[in-house]
Copies of this chain bind each other. A is one copy, B any other.
Amino acid sequence: MYFPFRVCWIKDIVVAVTGENMETMKSIIQKYQHKGISLVEAGVTRHRSILNGLKALAGDQTDSRLSKPQVVIIHDAVRPFFEEDDLLKVVRAAREHGAAGAVRPLVSTVVSPSTEGCLDHSLERARYRASEMPQAFLFDVIYEAYQRCSDYDLEFGTECLQLALKYCHTNAKLVEGSPDLWKVTYKRDLYAAESIIKERISQEICIVMDMKEEKEHVGHLLEAVLKNELHHVKMTSVVPCHDGSSIQHIILGQCYSFVCMNVMTTDFQNTQKLLGMLEESNLSILYPVVVVSDEQKLQESLKQGAVIIAALIKERNSALLGQLLVA
């Protein structure tokens, strides 16, 4: 997940927000310390919201700290899973063609109903594409299109590329996008989005261990078994240093899953220390900490322990907070 505010070449971000959600949005920006974001009041339709955003970027308002960009990207918040590469592709194409947008193959055939609700004709699926987001434009092209377009367009239109075509004679370049650009629309899409987020924040696990105890540290054994259980997961192991900077480094690197190994009972102070650092970090602590223990020696039940840890990391079930699970 590349949030636009993590893409260094994006200068300003303008978000259209309804009046009733303005305060919530401000508190989110403050809480997560997002930089370079301006808020504008959303319109009653999608096109009116975009127009408000473009006006703010046009730089012709006296109180604005924004200056007119050469290229503007338009995106929907309901498509949270784009990659930086998706943005790069439409921006490059927009520089060349004046406008560009991501498209995807049609999943279902598109049909045209008659006035009686019967099939009039169906479209040949291979000849059409679903228009997705992000889209990018030379600012002058899309701003002119929005200034020229009719009230009917602003009220009922759905396609920015169509405005650029109709009012500026700019044929947008259509760029094949990734499947993850889909629009979170139905309840099932929320389920899918939740699973994708859980999958992505589980892509890296940090195993915190104390090397002083043993040469062949059980942490390294667990690391090997976990690698077998969780494919494609980046595994980092770290020995906490005195000032905690080694763990701070990993927290800053957007790791969301920590496994703290306690071989000796006294090691629990390491866990306490880690928890303290996570609480103090700017990461939102979304998920529970669960201790997996073993009645005999952990080596003998590493496999079962890895299965449990893998499941906890994948599902992040907050109801298990504080439970003692036995491997």
- Taking Cβ atoms with an 8 Å cutoff, the residues of A that contact B are 97, 99, 101, 103-104, 106-114, 117-123, 125-132, 156, 158-159, 161-162, 165, 171-174, 179-180, 182-183, 185-189, 191-196, 307-308, 310-312, 315, 317-320, 323-326
Contacts and interface: CB of A to CB of B under 8 A. Distances in A.
A112 B97 contact: no
A111 B183 contact: no
Nearest to A118: B171
Q: How many copies does the complex hold?
A: 2
Contact of A132 (B108, B112, B180, B323): B108
A159 to B, nearest CB: 4
A179 B186 contact: yes
24 contacts: A101-B119, A104-B108, A107-B130, A107-B185, A108-B132, A110-B110, A110-B123, A111-B129, A111-B161, A113-B128, A114-B171, A119-B173, A121-B165, A122-B159, A122-B165, A179-B187, A188-B193, A188-B195, A192-B192, A307-B319, A308-B320, A311-B317, A311-B319, A311-B320
A interface, over-half SS: mixed
Given A182-B188, A311-B317, 10 more contacts: A107-B183, A108-B132, A111-B161, A112-B129, A118-B172, A125-B158, A179-B186, A180-B188, A192-B192, A324-B326
Contacts of A114: 171
Contacts of A122: 131, 159, 161-162, 165
Nearest to A171: B118
B110 A131 contact: yes
Given A307-B319, A315-B317, A319-B308, A131 B112 contact: no
Contacts of A156: 126
B196 A188 contact: yes
Nearest to A309: B319
A323 B191 CA distance: 27
